[in-house]
Amino acid sequence: MGFYLADTITPFLFSTFTYLVALNALIAVLEGILLRRWFRGGDHSIRWMLLANYLSAWIGWVALVWLIAPRLDGLLGPRPIERVELLALLILSVAFAITVVVEFGVVHVATSRSRRSWKRSLLATISVNLVSYLLISLWFCWTSFTLPFNVKVRPLADLKPIPNGTLYWIDPVGNLMAENLSREGLPKRMGNIEINDQLEPWQLRLEEGNNSNSVDMRVRYSFRGTGNDDSGLDNSIVLPNVVSADAFPPDYWENRPDRKKAADLRTGDRSVQVVFDWYRHVMGTTVPNGPTTHLCVGLATFDWMIEEPTILPDDKIVFEWGGQIVLLDPHMRKLAFIAMGTCPCFVPSK
């Protein structure tokens, strides 16, 4: 009796050693039960399935990292959010194939000799894994890769109208870009941000300027590899007098966000709740009498951090997700790609 769930795929559900060990033990129990009941497995089915699960898990881990990680950028393309579900399906398919190949011989040995045949062992390996992969895939979409059951990825035009204002961000090579999403047109280059082996920007921060009612945009940096914020650079102001302070809600400057909470530009109804967990890379929304969302993408080969969310006046949320700028409509449960980059900062029009 064993638990035969989704051996090769389990490293991609939970990247920690604890989960890899604990989950595979439960998987082996189920696999053994199915093997004995459906295919007359021997008395030691659970023991054999424990061996099979850990063998395929570790071989699968190495094989998938070797196959996927070096090709990740090419597989995701220039608009990763639009391909990531296909990539997850590819990982699942490759994992299933590796599991069947690795565990076939163990299942053959675990089957009673009187019932043992190569065709029967292959059928048993495929059958019990179909059950286990279905269960673990549902768990996977609930905990680690929540896109399929939460939002639909659509073109940006499907999320319009968008409140009038300018979205700023830093592109992958350090250009400061700006675009008014409510209008047609291409983003404009506004300047250059310092990025090198020691420094990386993590926030375009709005601060009240020295002039009356003015707002400056400042770049905040961290030292690469240390996580320490603020490099102490004196030239971190990139756009002085970017907008008037009265373009923001009255309580904006009292509750000015740091990197661990969302900025809120709403002036009226704030009934739509936004929960941002910076540490666990998760964001959720709740619309009263409407839909909820729970966003998370975490695999062993890549883990998309959610950073710098800003709630727009109409409840839409712009944020960085794994090195790309995206826009979420929590009412329609639609998500759109805007650009590759980091540090999104939305400045409303006065």
* Per-residue pLDDT, 6: 44
| Residues 207-217: tens digit of each pLDDT | 887 777 889 99
Domain ranges of the chain: 10-145, 152-348
Instruction: Please give, one letter per residue, the 3-state secondary structure of 183-207.
Output: CCCCCEEEEECCCCCCEEEEEEEEE
The kind and range of the H/E element at 7 are none
Low-confidence stretches of the chain (pLDDT beneath 50): 1-6, 11-16
pTM recorded for the entire structure: 0.86
| Residues 146-167: tens digit of each pLDDT | 999 999 999 999 999 999 999 9
* Per-residue pLDDT, 234: 56
CA–CA separation, 76 and 84 (whole Å) = 6
Mention every residue, 6+ apart, whose C-beta is less than 8 A from residue 52: 4, 7, 28, 31, 102, 103, 106, 107, 110
* Per-residue pLDDT, 232: 55
Q: Which strand ranges, in their side-by-side order, compose the sheet holding 188-192?
A: 188-192, 175-179, 165-170, 342-348
In DSSP terms, 306 is beta-bridged to 321
Report the sign of the C-alpha dihedral through residues 197, 203, 206, 207, in that order. Answer: negative
User: Is 298:281 a contact under the CB 8 Å cutoff?
Assistant: yes
* Per-residue pLDDT, 226: 60
